[in-house]
Structure formats: structure tokens, C-alpha cells
Structure 1
């Protein structure tokens, strides 16, 4: 059996991973491309870029969970690369976002239909790097003229483990407060809130359950993993202390969770059990006055 090397191109909130078989011969295909794509749920039909590599080019399969507007944008990048590359042909495949890492783990475990490149979230890098499934990017980055100084420190530092750089940042997701100006005007609110007191006051004025309208819809999934740490940081506390121990049992963490819970059960400015992207859909419908989300 051939020894497999996993190359990893990381992206800040999302990362790119390169997985390639050593010594694949002159066929222009790695082991991963000779397997039936249905074994891990590949979605070639969604992004047919580089369906077959021209003679003399090595084919690289590129996985991505980008099924929204960023999917076609990434496809344009792949198409542009394929047009100018004399050595490689990238085959772009969009995998189902909800099963993305399950499909990846299955590919790792069975060594079938493995991608050569992939998008990966930054917080997944330590897990896969410590399982020895990724290859450090230092040498490849240096050859491409890519330096750590070109990127946000936090994204680079998290992807640097044991002195090795495991991923090149693609993007980051700062939270932004979006608000419905029409609903604010109708409620007599002249400016968006700038602190907790103003936020609560505005959310209460903007809530009308009889009309299905909410001041702030508390998400249960994305981007909840960013909202909770933000509330923690606002109290001057990090997720871990100076010794690396988790701060989840700290008074500040309890207060942050209690505040989020109060928005639903005490202040009643948010419905319960919001489905994935439910707050976004209600915002687009004019039924959610405030939401915090990424770009």
C-alpha cells in the first residue's frame, strides 16, 4: 500500500486541505480519484470544474462545503487556476455542509475518494494535525512566497502547532450587528444600541409576539459559538485562563449563559428552539429586528 501524505492548506475560519498520494505514477490521477465518488457523497454535478484532467496534467480533487453564493465564487477561482496551470487540473466538488466532516472521516478511514485539497475550519486543524493526517504548510508556503505576516495574527497562531504552520488563512468571520431600520423607526428608536441596557430596551420595544415579530432571535446553532465567547470577552475574561484551563465554570461564563437564557424566558424578546438559520430567515422576513452574524 502506498504511504499517504496529507497536505493541509488552512483557512482562518475555514481552511483548505490538500490530500495527495505519493508516487501515483504517470496516469495523472491520485488514488483518491480512482474510487467511486458516491462512496462519500461527492457532488460533482454541483461544481463540474475540471471534470477530467487533460493529458499531461495531474488531477487534484478539491472539496468544499460552499453551497451558497461563495460556491460559484470559489468555482471561478478554480476555473481561472485550471486555465493557467500547465501541470495540474483541479476538480472542484461541493460536499454537503452538514455531513462534511463525517464524509472526510470516512474518506480518511477507508482511503477511498479522498480529496487532494479541501476547505477546513480553523478549529478543526488541531484535531486532524495531531492525528498525523495533515502536512505542515511551511515549505509550500515559502515556495509560493506566502508569509505569516500577510495575515491576522490570531488565525496564524491557532494554526501553528509545535512550531509548524498547518494552514493558510482563507477568511475570518467577525460578528456584526444587523438591524431593521424600518422596525426601529416604527418603534421610535432613533439609533442602534451601543450597550446591554440599550439593547434590552430596544429589543423589548421591537417585540410583538402576536404579530410574530421579535426584537432579537437567539440562535441555537451558528453563530452561537461566537456569541457566547463575545459575551465572555466583554466581561474581561477569556475562554481559558493563563494556565490553559477552561473558564466555562467561571462566574462570567455563568452570567453570559444566564443573560442569553433571559432573552428567551425572562425578557421574552426571542422565541425558543430556533432552527438553523431561523434568525436569518425571520430577519429577511422583517420579523427579527436585530441579529448578530458574520459577513
Structure 2
């Protein structure tokens, strides 16, 4: 293991085992032994208890729905469980805060975790295994949308449940694109770029045609994936062949040239996503790519600004391509009692109920995470309304969307790539060739 991965892991300082161990049993009583062992690890909440939940749901519509959801759980659960929420910013902020809190022995019981953090926390035994509770309560894991279980299982344990997962949506100004000659959503990156240039030219450089914020595991991952079928990291999570197969070089050169020509917006150094959206609402940007998790917020703000909003499939080189990202909720087992873990499971189970899953999608845009929720009248009726087409698209994309491999290197590689992208696209301090060389140097110290 390379030096910087070791350093990242050491900051977590963790040892945790959820399974209680009993005496040895004879082979003839093996099945009975397993049953008794599982029962010993499963607790039921016996007294009123308060547990904390750290999350990234801090934007307007997200936070409003989260509060509504928590309030309902606190009022209706039969155990006297009280969930207290604490917003931490973005998912990477949750990860950073949780790392510090675990080292200090002061972590929450629940957290919404990104694909960057889950492998690190799971590999060090920080996350409680939900399997005994799943088996006790006959919770159907086959009902969880298969494509959303990529960060659920670790070493034969269930360490998270999909909660704020999302695909990306192309949000575009229908009027601007129609004026440029495009009367339907683009079907490829090449087509999107063609019309983005026309919008820029038609406005004499006043309106950018399209924009992307910097998120290597998400927005740039799916564009790279459309070139190399892998993305920014290999399927085994142990390397980045994109640095040698020509795909990263092509993408870096293209993105740099798009922004150099002016029709592709350069993301702001701070609050890039918010700044890009404000340009869109003010008519200074024709289209941008953002998570489906922001669909409700973006729709409401676009309507208030008088923007004729279109929501479409995201496109990559040669056709449609989509990323799969967002957060999964985990129970922090380290330093927490069985009562706290049992209470946390009750909240997780509540969040995975059909009505909660359906309303989470409707109120915010995050993906429905269970097959049964998709079959509810609540969701069917919502999708039947033409104005909600973008929400349905986000779910339809799931089967073809891609996410980086679950790897202990994801977090550090993401950080390194983000830094180089920023130097190239935002600061413009280096050339695409220099950016590629820098990434190769970083990769040599990160991957085995």
C-alpha cells in the first residue's frame, strides 16, 4: 500500500466489530450456533433514545424534505427514538467531518456517505453490518434497485443503504436552444457542443452554451467513460488506464479548448455549482449538467426566473452517457452501543419504506431506490405528468449509468484529479499535456 493511502487510513484510527462471539459449537449444532450468534448481535430499542445523523442535504428543497421526513419518524416510531440532523455541507464535507469525529471518539450514529468515503470507512470496520437486522426483519434486499447496490456490500456485509443516489441531468434553456436550431434535446456530446457554440455566437459571446463543474468521480467520470468504457479509474479500483490509453489526454485537451473558445463556461473557484446555476437563471448560460438530486430546486428556481426549462438525458462522446453518484446512509458502529445501532436501523428501515422513497424522489429528485416504490400509485401518477419527465429520465438512466469502482483509492485519486483539473481549467496555469504528466505522477504514488 502506498504511503498516502496509509496516511489517509491512519487518520481514521479504527477498530470495530459488531458480531458478538460465543463459545465453540460442535459441527452437528452449526446451524443452531449461527442462529444464536445472529440473535445475540441483534438488539431491540428498549428505552427512548436520541441519535444523530450527519448529512449533506442542506439546500432549500432537500433540507425541507429531510426535516419533514425526520419529524414524521420522530413522531410515529414506537420506540421513542429521536433523530437529530446536522448538516455538514457537501458529501466530501461529511466525510472530512466524520473522519475527524471518529478520531476524537465523538462521531454521529448515522451519516450520508459518498462513494469516496464508504470504502475507507468499511475497510477499517467503522460501519456497522446491517445484515443481522435485515435477516431479523425480513427486509428484502432483492427489492433494492440492483444498480444502486454498488456501494452497499463490503466483505459480505451490508454497510450502507442507497439514500441520496442520483444520475446527472442536462438542464437546458429550451428557448435558447430552439433559437439556435435545436428543437429537441441533444443526443450526443458532439451535438450538444455544436449548439452550445451557436448560442455563444448568436449572443456575441454574452451567453455561454454549456458548463460543467469539477467533480472527477461524477461529471468528468461519465465523459471519460464514454471514451474508454471505464471512466477515471479502472474497474478493479487499482489503477487509471485512462492516463495511458489516450482517453484522458483527449478529454483534457477538449475541455481546455472548449473553455478557451469561450462557449463552455469555466466553473467559479468557489461555490461553482451555485454560481453556474445563477448564470443559467439569469439567461447567461444555455445549459449545464447537474445531479438529478437537484431537480426540484432547479425546476422551481427556473420557473421563478421565467426560464423555459428542459431536462434531458446526459450525453457523452458518440451518444448518451450518464454518471451514477450521490450518497448512501451508513450506521457508524464504532464507539456506539447496540441500542444506538438498533435505533439507527429503525430509521434506515423507515427511509427505505415505499412512501418515503417515493416522496424523497418527488420532493427532491433523488433516485427511487426500491422496485416496489416505483410501482406505487404515488410515483406512477407523478411520472405520468409531462412536466415531471426529467425525474423519470433520471431513473431510466440508471441501468446504463456508471460509477467509479468501490476502491480504497477513490478518495485520494479523486482529490488529486480534482486539483489538476482546477489548475488546468480554472487557474489555467498548465497545459493539457502538463496536466496529464501531473496526473501520471500522482497515480504512481497512489495506486499499488
For the aligned pair, the TM-score class normalised by the smaller chain equals 0.7 to 0.9
TM-score scaled by length of structure 1: 0.72
Q: Distance in 2 between matches of 1:195 and 1:60?
A: 46
1:245 to 239, 264, 285: 239
TM-score scaled by length of structure 2: 0.49
Q: Distance in 1 between matches of 2:264 and 2:17?
A: 44
Kindly indicate which of the two structures has a greater share of residues assigned to helix.
Answer: 2
Structure 1 residues 5 and 95: alpha-carbon distance in aligned structure 2, compared to 1, 3 A threshold = farther
- Tell me the equivalent position of 2:277: 280
Q: Structure 1: state its 5+ residue gaps.
A: 8-21, 29-55
3-state SS of paired residue (1:174) = strand
Q: Structure 2: state its 5+ residue gaps.
A: 1-13, 19-40, 293-448
The question of whether the paired residues in 2 share the 8 Å contact of 1:122 and 1:159 is answered with: no
1:63 to 44, 54, 62: 54
The question of whether the paired residues in 2 share the 8 Å contact of 1:65 and 1:97 is answered with: yes
3-state SS of paired residue (1:170) = strand
3-state SS of paired residue (1:178) = strand
Count of residue pairs brought into register by the alignment:
244
1:1-295 matched pairs, under 5 angstroms: 56-68=47-59, 69-98=61-90, 99-112=93-106, 114-207=107-200, 212-220=206-214, 222=215, 225-239=217-231, 240-241=233-234, 244-249=238-243, 250-265=245-260, 267-275=261-269, 276-277=272-273, 278-295=275-292
Q: Distance in 2 between matches of 1:5 and 1:70?
A: 32
The question of whether the paired residues in 2 share the 8 Å contact of 1:176 and 1:293 is answered with: yes
Query: What is the root-mean-square deviation of aligned Cα atoms in Å?
Result: 2.8
Q: Distance in 2 between matches of 1:103 and 1:58?
A: 23
Structure 1 residues 262 and 148: alpha-carbon distance in aligned structure 2, compared to 1, 3 A threshold = farther
Shift of 1:174: 1.0
- Cα deviations by residue, 1:186-212 (Å, 9 ceiling, x for unpaired): 333333321233222101111157663
Kindly report structure 1 stretches of 4+ aligned residues shifted beyond 3 Å: 3-7, 208-212, 239-245
Q: Distance in 2 between matches of 1:258 and 1:145?
A: 52
